[in-house]
Amino acid sequence: MELMFTARGHSCDLIIHPVSKKTAQLIREHGVDVYSMKSWDCWSRGKTSIWGMRIDNICQIQVTLDGEPVAFDHQRVIANPLMLRRRMFLDSRAKYLCVFGFDNARCKFSWRWSDVKGFDPAKFEFMVYQWDRIMGREGYHILDDIRYDNRVSASHDWCDAAGFTLVRPRLINLEDVRREIAEENAERADSPFSSVQSFAEAVTE
């Protein structure tokens, strides 16, 4: 049998990039206009980018087996998100981080598995990132990839992409974050950001 998981909604392409004090000031002054001052390739280099489907109130999910819809609890997708931590930046000399990109492109993502013997929703494994503290919004989940029964999908397609608008670059003052961590107890010491609210206060828009 063929199993298909399809999500329709907002796709995103975001990156966390270290920036200098001079660039941070430029971003404060110019906001979204800073995108025209540097090429997109410059912002999107490195290993701190994330591309996937936003799991929000717009996202529509359908699971089918041989083309027929099967029951699926959407909450399974965000049940065990990955809490992104950037110790590599906190332990570096970087003073500012900035989030660039977009998160509102309309798109459809689909994953397909062939030769599936029956369907058990518990066999799904979702790679979902939780960026609440990075984006300053609660419930900010990004679906990156899916496995079923320990198998990667036979195909992963995206289509029907529509336009997007670039987010206003979000600055994070790492000195404020490091200071916050130093004040936390040892139990919380490995968590860069203690709350959405305090994280948002470290962001200059």
65-96 confidence digits (pLDDT tens): 999 999 999 999 999 898 655 566 676 777 88
**Would the pLDDT of 191 be above 50?**
no
Task: Write down the pLDDT at residue 47.
Answer: 65
Q: Which residues contact 1 (CB under 8 A, 6 or more apart)?
A: 65, 66, 115, 116, 117, 118, 119
pLDDT of residue 69: 96
Residue 39 has pLDDT above 70, yes or no: no
Q: How many domains would you assign to the chain? A: 1
Q: Give the pLDDT score at 193.
A: 42
Average pLDDT rounded to a whole number, residues 185-202: 41
Q: What is the pLDDT of residues 173-183, one digit of tens each?
A: 888 777 777 77
For residue 20, what are its two tokens? 């200098």
Query: What's the pLDDT band for 109 if we cut at 50, 70, 90?
Result: very high
Tell how strand 124-130 and strand 96-113 pair up. Answer: unpaired
Residue range of the domain that includes 32: 3-204
Predicted model pTM: 0.79
Q: Taking a C-beta distance cutoff of 8 angstroms, is the pair 127, 145 a contact?
A: yes
Which ranges of 31-86 would DSSP assign to H, the alpha helix?
A: 40-43
